[in-house]
Chain A
């Protein structure tokens, strides 16, 4: 167990719908990353938050948004879902000092039908 909790583990929804993925980082970790992993693909960086503020943005679609709350948990919102959004979405957290490990949650598998 990495200490990073993601909910739900599985999500099946229809095209056009909106979903929210939730991530609770390890205790003490201020930095949260979101990654998208499509079938047999690599880890595509979406966005990073540090202590409530957006720090870095990757190839995140305008239909996607995220935030980090005062208690440091983070949510990734995906709207107007398309079939191609089906993927495994990982959250990772780290303490964000130089050269520290990022710990991954078990992921949320999103299936858009």
Chain B
């Protein structure tokens, strides 16, 4: 089955600096890669996603890149702000007519230092 590895497990950056979180996946059939943000005590919420036919996607200060050959994808947050402090989860998914597996990485606790 799919295995998603996420690094680092914790990350501290100065406010205004950039943060990068990296994930690798094992199943070449995976075709959808969402990123979720989970604030303390709250539900995970989607912040950005990318499909296998796209190499990069950007939404304001957040961007995701995908390298299908190497089977890795990354989350980039620029100009970090205190509200970016949270746990971030990457995930890999494939869908085939009702059969879908959504596998999450182990999470990265991001702390923005004011």
Bound form: Cα–Cα A41–B93 in Å: 20
* A-facing residues in B85-114 (Cβ within 8 Å): 89, 93, 95, 98-107
Bound form: Cα–Cα A59–B16 in Å: 39
Q: Tally of A-B residue pairs with Cβ under 8 A?
A: 68
Bound form: Cα–Cα A31–B49 in Å: 19
Give which listed residue, B31, B99, B104, contacts A45 with CB less than 8 A: B104
A interface residues, tally (CB under 8 Å): 28
- Closest residue of B by beta carbon distance from A99: B32
**Is A105 engaged at the interface, CB distance under 8 Å to the other chain?**
yes
Q: Is the interface of B mostly helix, strand, loop or mixed?
A: strand
Give which listed residue, A33, A42, A90, contacts B105 with CB less than 8 A: A42
- Closest residue of B by beta carbon distance from A88: B41
* B-facing residues in A31-69 (Cβ within 8 Å): 31, 33, 35, 41-43, 45, 48, 50-51, 55-56
Which of A's residues lie within 8 Å of B, judged by CB? 2, 31, 33, 35, 41-43, 45, 48, 50-51, 55-56, 90, 92, 94, 96-107
Which of B's residues lie within 8 Å of A, judged by CB? 31-32, 34, 36, 42-46, 49, 51, 89, 93, 95, 98-107
